[in-house]
Amino acid sequence: MASVKNLTFKEVLELVRPDLLLVEEEFGVQTTTGVRPISEIGQYLQEGGGKRLRPALVLLAAKLCGYEGLAGIRMGAVVEMIHTATLVHDDVIDQADTRRGRPSPNSRWGNPMSVLAGDWLYMQAFNIALNERSFRILDVLIRLTQVMVEGELLQLTCLRRATVTEEEYLELAYRKTACLFSACMRLGALLGGKNEEEEGRLGLYGINLGLAFQLIDDVLDFTSSEEVLGKPIGNDVREGKMTLPLIYLLQRCSPEESRKVSRVLEEGGFDAAQFAEILELIDHYGALQSAREKAQDFSEKARGFLEEYPDSPYKDALHSLPDFILERES
């Protein structure tokens, strides 16, 4: 294997910083309309920040594949708009009050306006993509949207169900998170004119990176703080969502403890047991460590799909991203 230089997340972003700034500009331009509520919500969402990891993946994949051009900027804005739309819809479904430390759009503008703003963001993202005149790009984005909506529907069928298996969980994690990471990498490969095999290889990198990202997200729901995470911790348990740490816990704990945890999930609150009790059980049975190890496995798999690419700063960046995923705090 060729030598790879380890970069910090800041160094990774610096490689595409000028393009990311252009993505921000494009996002702002594309969400400014004559319909005031859309412009207001779009600006509010953009100001909410975020790491812009998904557009960075598009740009890094494109540059890895030898592409430099404005289509990368536009595709970066497209994936950020799709991601933002999913967050808006998620907050409505989850009845969330906060997002990234600020009032969520639904708590500020109400559910009907937020749902419609999310729909508009989806349509505007496709409108931008349509201008590329590429059936393959549209194919990737249409399939992505279908898979993500299917994920939301499947998650609703799994809510408050303590019998969710690890296989079912990973399927949900793919549909809700990893498929978008995969699409970002595929779009970069398409911009670089790569064949189906290389597109698929980079897509698999994205899937494994996205699964690691989601697993760490689940761990942070137990170990972070509201100040750092930007939303209340313990939300997943409160909302009746089975995550991998809980699955591992229920595989290992006593029948009595299992009943207590199951009741918390089914009731959607901490009446049967306090969050601190759940956290103590998860720690006692090593469920968080097992989830982290699983995330590590996915991270290593992601790196494996980069081996055939020649040395470059962009390969270094993509090789380094799993470390950021595993070590992030928010």
Q: What is the pLDDT of residues 70-107, one digit of tens each?
A: 999 999 999 999 999 999 999 999 888 888 788 999 99
In a domain, 4, yes or no: no
Name which of 57, 52, 17 is nearest 321 in CA terms. Answer: 57
pTM score, whole prediction: 0.94
Q: Residue 66: inside a domain, yes or no?
A: yes
Helix 70-94 / helix 179-191 crossing angle, nearest 10 deg: 170
Looking at residue 2, its pLDDT comes to 52
Q: For position 1, what pLDDT does the model report?
A: 43
Total number of domains in the chain = 1
Structural domain contains residue 171 = yes
Question: Quick check: is 297 in a domain?
Answer: yes
Determine, yes or no, domain membership for 1: no
Tokens representing 220 are: 């942070």
The whole-angstrom separation of Cα 209 and Cα 203 is 10
Give pLDDT, residue 174: 98
| Token code pair at residue 288 | 């968080």
Domain residues for the domain of 96 are 9-327
How far is 270 from 248, CA to CA, in rounded Å?
20
Look up the CATH number of the domain holding residue 272. Answer: 1.10.600.10
- Considering the domain boundaries, does residue 2 fall inside one? no
Q: What is the pLDDT along the chain (330 residues), one digit of tens a residue?
A: 456 889 999 999 999 999 999 999 999 999 988 888 888 998 998 888 788 999 999 999 999 999 999 999 999 999 999 999 999 999 999 888 888 788 999 999 999 999 999 999 999 999 999 999 999 999 999 999 999 999 999 999 999 999 999 999 999 999 999 999 999 999 999 999 999 999 999 999 999 999 999 999 999 999 877 677 766 778 888 888 999 999 999 999 999 999 999 998 888 778 778 888 999 999 999 999 999 999 999 999 999 999 999 999 999 999 999 999 999 877
DSSP per residue, 166-198: HHHHHHHHIIIIIHHHHHHHHHHHHHTT--HHH
Cβ neighbourhood burial of 34 (10 Å; 0-12, 13-18, 19+) = exposed
Task: Give the pLDDT score at 230.
Answer: 67
CA distances in angstroms from 284 to 219, 223, 294, 295, 329, listed in the order given: 15, 14, 18, 20, 22
Residue 36 lies in a domain: yes
